[in-house]
Structure 1
Amino acid sequence: MSSPSFWLDSLGPIERRPPLDGDREADVAIAGGGYTGLWTAYYLAKAAPQTRIVVVDAEYCGFGASGRNGGWASGLFPVSEARLSRRFGPGAAAAMTRALEDTVDEVGRVTAAEGIDCDYAKGGVISLARNPVQLRRARRDPGFVDAGEARARCAAEGVLGGVYSEHCAALHPAKLVRGLAETVERLGVTIHEGTRVEQIKTGQIKTGRGTLRAAHVVRALEGYTAGLAGHRRDLAPVYSLMIVTEPLPAEFWQRAGLARRETFTDERRLVIYGQRTADDRLAFGGRGAPYHFGSRVRPKYDLVPGVFEALRATLTDLFGIDPPIAYRWGGPLGIPRDWMPSVGLRDGIGWAGGYVGDGVAAANLAGRTLADLILGRDSDLTALPWVNHRSRRWEPEPARWLGINAGLRATALLDALDRRRAA
């Protein structure tokens, strides 16, 4: 592999943009060239074309989660609507749900309008129930569908029912992030790659290659936030790993379904996620890799053979095949202590993230919200309950390492118990 994911590698060699070369002034300076930073730049540039916007990234646009994820632009939010309702009221909770669901369509609208060919296909998401315990869980969801309808969307082995939502689109994540970077450059945004951020404070982003000074600065580092001075306990970098098969034959797809490129998962507790790619591969991922002491992020953590084998075995269990695997990769995502993503602006410093793995659409919503906040516009978006939310910081080590890894182990054990009960 010459890059961190199949998605990025499929685009060919990455040509980096020039790094920052000395101190510079801007109106808005953005740390992070992933979805959050680029969507923020996009909506600011569209709303206020005269704004001087500079984006910096330690590697290149899409190097992080934006170029490695499962390609689900979903209306999912890691905090349930019921929990949001208890804390913020039913109206605010419903508004958050509607805003994310509408965002799935917004991503499709903008990519079409800007000519970003990212293989966008809004087929929805099907969560399969494949044992009686999972079926009982699925029946409690308003989106419950019977076995026939679930199998019509994804004909995995042993499907008893499922939960379907139309609010999800499959896409090629690296095509989206690289296309978005090219789009904002056409709108006048400056991007500097190979420029590592060392410190963010009011009025400036300090990098190893100079200081960016701006009236507004934005932190959009997601899983890499813990590497920033003063932010080690803000978001825990937890790894999600993926595999992708070689293109599969037409007879497999005639049996397996996913005719509208529905994204798919099942009702187990430990997250799995998959999609049928535009070139007829299965791209499939899941959690289970350990959290690393001190919130460390290292390239070697992207590759965990045991997790890759578990993902391959899960595909075999789901579809009754032993597929040829073309790529294996992984990367960190950001998890806040209360699992509540946030977007906000205080004292000239904007931030967004903590998406817990559901950031493809949420980052677009965050970008639109940050644009409104920076421009001083009161809107429906700036009134959403995640705006200016502050999560409690993670515990110091070793409590953080013990707690997160114990949670991962307990989740896997509960799934194993469900399987034994169903046997």
Structure 2
Amino acid sequence: MNKSLWRGDEQIVSRKTISANKSFDVAIVGGGFSGLWSAYHLKQIQPSLNIAIFEKDYVGFGASGRNGGWASAEYPTSSARLIKEHGLAVYQNLRKSLIESIDEIGQIAKSNNWQIEYAKGGSLVFATNNAQLSRISQDLDNEHNFLNTVEAKQLLNVQNIKGGLFTPHCAALNPFKLTSALARYLDDKGVEIFENSKVDQISDKKVVVNGFDIDCEISIRATEAFTARKWMKNQQIPIYSLMVATEPLTSDQLIQVRNMQRATFQEACHLITYAQITGDNRLAIGGRGVRYKLFSRLSERSEVDNRMHSALERRALRWFPQLEGIKFQYRWGGPVALTRRWQSYLNFDQTSGRAAIGGYVGDGVTLSF
């Protein structure tokens, strides 16, 4: 089973497939957040642009439709490293942009009546032992507040919680609903979205899709973990992140768990975890731990790693023993892109008209905006 909670039982009605040679001002490769938001912002800047998006499967098929649903201000690389490599001013501009992006996503959704289960409740990193508490205590800054045992437990009733770091800069949402709503908005704005349309070649001012030549002034490659090796060689690798979700919690169970503000949360353990209480009152928890595939191969089997899914279910009940007996209704997963420098990228060559964006290491809900 690789059935995402975010998509649920929604049936995919495929958009048109490319069937002839065409010409566009901008050709975007990939129908996830990076490609969709690129089209959105370009249309805001220049509404007359003739834009096409080419998606190999369907909009939201990849990580954009399967992720943990965190719109956060986190960045995969440490603040100290960013300041050392890029300078304080660049770092401060990045922090400001990431923080503002969380609110902007919510405002855009609200103004367009997109039902994406958006809730800006902040985010908690909690400790359940002294070693974890010591680690998170070193991460205090002007964006994070330390919560003692009582304060942390008032927010989230995790067993043996000893404290936590809380930031207001995070929102929980349904990522598949966001991709779907954004794609429908772009449909209405005249952006042509082609599904089941695989881009085989990207060259200067031209892409080849399903064997058809597409001329363009600018191409944007936004394929994240599904990027072909011929385009990035060994500069990026896919890593797998898996999730599980329970049946809806009862009113009594929600009271026992607390977190009525829907703050996202994770344990300060060495294994990366992430969780939220969803808009329909389920506990959704994700984590990493699937073995790396030699030569950075993509593997659908890695998306349904029963060992890892079972470990996530056990961890959820270890956090919340008060949910003993609850049913887990969803198991799913997929790859995210990890660059060798642990930093995302945005490249554009004006001469060739070729651009590329990605490498979010799992933080793409906000970084792609």
Q: TM-score, normalised by structure 1?
A: 0.83
Match of 1:104 among 98, 102, 105: 102
Q: Does 1:229 align with 2:255?
A: no
Q: Does 1:325 align with 2:332?
A: no
Q: Does 1:42 align with 2:47?
A: no
Write the distance in 2 (CA, Å) between the matches of 1:103 and 1:244.
Answer: 27
Residue in structure 1 matched with residue 75 of structure 2 by the alignment: 77
Residue in structure 2 matched with residue 30 of structure 1 by the alignment: 28
Write the distance in 2 (CA, Å) between the matches of 1:4 and 1:234.
Answer: 30
Deviation of 1:45 (Å):
1.0
1:46/1:187 contact within 8 Å kept: no
Deviation of 1:197 (Å):
1.3
Q: Does 1:62 align with 2:64?
A: no
Moved more, 289-298 or 62-71: 289-298
Write the distance in 2 (CA, Å) between the matches of 1:4 and 1:193.
Answer: 20
Deviation of 1:209 (Å):
4.1
Residue in structure 2 matched with residue 284 of structure 1 by the alignment: 285
What pairs with 1:13-412 in structure 2 (closer than 5 Å)?
Answer: 13-142=11-140, 143=144, 144-225=146-227, 227=228, 229-320=230-321, 321-322=323-324, 323-346=326-349, 347-364=352-369
Three-state SS of the structure 1 residue aligned to 2:59 is coil
Write the distance in 2 (CA, Å) between the matches of 1:140 and 1:299.
Answer: 38
Three-state SS of the structure 2 residue aligned to 1:86 is helix
Write the distance in 1 (CA, Å) between the matches of 2:26 and 2:69.
Answer: 29
Question: Greater RCO between the two (CA within 8 Å, min separation 6)?
Answer: 2
1:198/1:229 contact within 8 Å kept: no
2:65/2:179 contact within 8 Å kept: yes
- Write the letter of the residue equivalent to 1:71: G
Write the distance in 2 (CA, Å) between the matches of 1:53 and 1:7.
Answer: 27
Deviation of 1:16 (Å):
0.6
Deviation of 1:301 (Å):
2.0
- Write the letter of the residue equivalent to 2:170: C
Write the distance in 2 (CA, Å) between the matches of 1:228 and 1:56.
Answer: 18
**Number of residues of Structure 1 aligned to a counterpart in Structure 2:** 361
Runs of 4+ in 1 over 3 A off after TM superposition: none
Three-state SS of the structure 2 residue aligned to 1:14 is coil
Moved more, 314-323 or 158-167: 314-323
Deviation of 1:231 (Å):
2.4
Instruction: Indicate how the Cα distance of structure 1 residues 27 and 199 shifts in structure 2: closer, same or farther if over 3 A, else same.
Output: same
The answer for unaligned runs of 5 or more in structure 1 is 365-423
Deviation of 1:230 (Å):
3.4
Write the distance in 1 (CA, Å) between the matches of 2:184 and 2:78.
Answer: 35
Moved more, 56-65 or 197-206: 197-206
Three-state SS of the structure 1 residue aligned to 2:346 is strand
Write the distance in 2 (CA, Å) between the matches of 1:35 and 1:182.
Answer: 13
2:3/2:331 contact within 8 Å kept: no
- Write the letter of the residue equivalent to 2:174: H
Three-state SS of the structure 1 residue aligned to 2:329 is strand
- Write the letter of the residue equivalent to 1:9: G
Residue in structure 2 matched with residue 8 of structure 1 by the alignment: 7
Deviation of 1:114 (Å):
1.9
Write the distance in 2 (CA, Å) between the matches of 1:77 and 1:260.
Answer: 23
Write the distance in 1 (CA, Å) between the matches of 2:162 and 2:281.
Answer: 25
2:3/2:330 contact within 8 Å kept: no
Three-state SS of the structure 1 residue aligned to 2:232 is coil
Three-state SS of the structure 1 residue aligned to 2:231 is coil
Deviation of 1:300 (Å):
2.1
- Write the letter of the residue equivalent to 1:195: S
Write the distance in 2 (CA, Å) between the matches of 1:151 and 1:204.
Answer: 56
Deviation of 1:236 (Å):
0.4
2:28/2:35 contact within 8 Å kept: yes
- Write the letter of the residue equivalent to 2:360: Y
1:239/1:287 contact within 8 Å kept: yes
Three-state SS of the structure 1 residue aligned to 2:230 is coil
Write the distance in 1 (CA, Å) between the matches of 2:92 and 2:270.
Answer: 24
1:230-275 per-residue CA deviation (whole Å, 9 max, x = no partner) reads 3242320110000010011111111111101110001112210001
1:45/1:188 contact within 8 Å kept: no
1:110-150 per-residue CA deviation (whole Å, 9 max, x = no partner) reads 11122211010000000101100001112122222211221
Moved more, 240-249 or 106-115: 106-115
- Write the letter of the residue equivalent to 2:359: G
- Kindly indicate which of the two structures has a greater share of residues assigned to helix: 1
Deviation of 1:4 (Å):
4.5
Write the distance in 2 (CA, Å) between the matches of 1:4 and 1:249.
Answer: 23
Three-state SS of the structure 2 residue aligned to 1:339 is coil
Deviation of 1:6 (Å):
1.9
Residue in structure 2 matched with residue 396 of structure 1 by the alignment: none
How many percent identity over aligned positions? Answer: 35
- Kindly indicate which of the two structures has a greater share of residues assigned to strand: 2
Moved more, 28-37 or 195-204: 195-204
Write the distance in 1 (CA, Å) between the matches of 2:213 and 2:119.
Answer: 41
